[in-house]
Homo-oligomer: A and B are copies of this chain.
């Protein structure tokens, strides 16, 4: 790493990075219930603790101004509960985390893992168009004019895509969450592919997703600079088999087969506030 601030070598090439617009700040918290301690409590104490938690969750689960928290009962040992917090900023996420920590229920929860990201929409197509347009007009990358045009494009997209940037959590019965990277291997390196090649592969990838639009909803979040993988993917469906079918089919498309690296998979069932007592039944 170097701190030099060279005064030479003006970079005028068209940037290789696709534009993105961002929306909700998202924190996934996976926790385990310390069941022996929980069961050791008197039934009345447990009931009071559940009532407090259900009341708080009842407020958080309502979607308002892009803010919402959904709870899921996870399958397997990776955690008992998953809290998916969507907020307006990281500061609000921090507050959500602290609010949860202050519930009496939290004395019986221990964190297993978490994931921090923001809703992100990649704009490969718009990027290519706007870059091409600016280049045609002879506008230099990173010039004032260039930056202004880019900012205008982003502003337009943020407005047009607001409902997808600040989404309500789909009310589906099942969630599937996993983080992923684009490979930077010694031979296969996503970040060395041309914009056109990347756009082509993302197009092909998107075609598959479209065929599943009726049965699975997805929210893509970006986490470069925030967490240990580049993206987090949330899938929502009434039938969990579609998670397998969709991801298996995609595994054969070029961008996934060659460039996708996957982290840990979490699968859970939605638990509304009213159902919290059920999953916490001792």
B118 pairs with A93, CB closer than 8 A = no
Residues of B close to A223: CB separation below 8 A? 244, 265
Residues of B within 8 A of A209 (CB): 5
Residue of B107, B203, B269, B281 near A35 (CB, 8 A) is B107
Inter-subunit contact A226/B1 (CB<8 Å): no
Q: How far is the CB of A262 from the nearest CB of chain B, in Å? A: 8
Contact of B2 with A124 in the complex, beta carbons under 8 Å: yes
Contact A248 B20 (CB under 8 A): yes
12 A-B residue pairs with Cβ-Cβ distance under 8 Å, sorted by A, are A2-B202, A3-B120, A6-B207, A11-B207, A15-B252, A76-B227, A90-B267, A98-B281, A191-B256, A224-B244, A225-B235, A227-B267
| Cβ B244 vs Cβ A222 within 8 A | yes
Instruction: Give the interface centre of A18, A112, A225, A251 by most chain B CB atoms within 10 Å.
Output: A225
Q: Give bound CA distance, A76 to B228, whole Å.
A: 12
A29 with B77: CB separation less than 8 A? yes
Closest to A261 in B: B184
| A90 x B6 contact (CB < 8 A) | no
Q: A187 in the interface, Cβ–Cβ < 8 Å?
A: yes
Which A residues, 222 to 265, have Cβ-Cβ distances below 8 Å to chain B? 222-228, 231, 233, 235, 240-241, 243-244, 246-249, 251-252, 256-258, 260, 264-265
Give Cα A235 to B224, complex, Å: 13
Q: How far in angstroms is the closest Cβ of chain B from A36?
A: 4
A204 to B6, CA, bound (A): 9
| In contact, A90 and B174 (Cβ under 8 angstroms) | yes
Number of interface residues of A (CB under 8 A): 107
| Leading 3 A-B pairs by shortest Cβ distance | A225-B243, A2-B122, A76-B114
Q: Assess the A91–B267 pair: CB atoms within 8 A.
A: no
CB distance from A171 to the nearest CB of B (A): 16
Q: Which of B10, B17, B226 touches A265 (beta carbons < 8 Å)?
A: B226
Q: Is the pair A142, B257 in contact by a Cβ cutoff of 8 Å?
A: no
Interface string of A67-111 (1 = CB under 8 A from B): 000000101111000000000001101100110011000110001
Contact A224 B206 (CB under 8 A): no
- B249 contacts A17, CB within 8 Å? yes
Minimal Cβ-Cβ distance residue in B for A189: B257
Which B residues are in CB contact (< 8 Å) with A222? 1, 244, 248
Min CB gap A178→B, angstroms: 8
Assuming the A-B contacts A35-B107, A210-B5, are A224 and B251 also in contact, with contact meaning beta carbons closer than 8 angstroms in the complex? Answer: yes
The answer on a CB contact under 8 Å between B4 and A90 is no
